[in-house]
Amino acid sequence: MLETKTVSISLLRKYWAELVIVAVGSLSINLIFLSKAFRQSSTVSPEAAAQLGSFVGGYVGSVFVLISIVLLFITLKNQIRSSEKEKFETKYFELLKMHRDNVAEVELGKAGGRKLFVLLLREFRSVLEVLRAVAMASGTQLTRRQEFHISYYCLFFGVGPNSSRMLKISLADVKPDFVNILENELNKEVIKTKVREFRNLGYTPFEGHQSRLGHYYRHLYQLVRFVDQQKIDIQKYEYAKTVRAQLSTHEQALLFLNSLTPMGSNWWTEGLIEKYRLVQNIPREFFDSSTELDLATFFKPGYFEWEEVAA
């Protein structure tokens, strides 16, 4: 009995507009019987009823034709919306699949997929240590954000015959002498060997990851921006949240580091990283707030998942 009642309520909610139209239409049609032609005496006046019927038929009929046109327009409009949404979702899920494929194809040595991002964060922290040692020895003053910016570029471009050239161009606003010393330190085999063993990387560090990360972030940006630029009526946040759900903690952390550099600045200028909370799952103190960066200072209160749990 309860199930039948639930089904009835569900049908009423689903077809309430159609039921209202039927009720109003039936009432309008039957209002003719309130006319004097039907109530003047015990007999109906054929002439009066015919004249009234012709008038009502023409007038009410026109109203119903107008209503039919409006309903037809609404139907066509809904069909167009459904078609546009279907086209959007087709491309969206294609891009989402391509993103998953990109993650699966990222590999270096014996590591691949999401596990590689764990190693990349370890390598980044090793670059940061070398950079701070060079800065201290050379008396160079850098802000925390500058340290992260330079360290990420060293991770991304690496050092070597071609890599060093691209690295120096990308760090044109940093003192050349400082960049040269940093490059020489990262190029030392003894430091590379020490970092490889200490961080358990399984590959030679500081040789760059441009071929891996460049494609990865270009496509991730394209995917999120594709959702953000839609003009159709969709829940953009929900689609972007599905993208965020594909990102591991270390992927989100590296995305944040990428966004702090000029090459990743569009994540901020277009509001994507804030609007869709793309890095909200980074745990509290994932980056040491006293020695690295305080993530909370980059976002409004309530941005991170750990803030919701604490509340």
Q: Is 142 exposed, middle or buried (0-12, 13-18, 19+ CB in 10 A)?
A: middle
In angstroms, the CA 279 to CA 250 distance is 10
Please report the pLDDT score of residue 47 as a whole number: 66
Phi and psi dihedrals of 112, rounded to 5? -160, 170
Residue 40 has pLDDT above 90, yes or no: no
Q: Spell out the domain ranges in the chain.
A: 91-108+209-310, 111-198
DSSP 311: -
| pTM attached to this predicted model | 0.78
In angstroms, the CA 104 to CA 286 distance is 24
- Average pLDDT score over residue span 252-276: 96
DSSP 283: P
In angstroms, the CA 8 to CA 28 distance is 26
3-state SS of 230-264 is CCCCCCHHHHHHHHHHCCCHHHHHHHHHHHCCHHH
pLDDT over 90 for what percent of the chain?
65
Please report the pLDDT score of residue 192 as a whole number: 96
**Residue among 147, 133, 127, 138 nearest 192 (CA):** 127
Of 283 and 35, more confident:
283
Please report the pLDDT score of residue 53 as a whole number: 63
Residue 5 has pLDDT above 70, yes or no: no
| 118-141 confidence digits (pLDDT tens) | 999 999 999 999 999 999 999 999
| 57-106 confidence digits (pLDDT tens) | 666 667 667 777 777 767 776 766 778 889 999 999 999 999 999 999 88
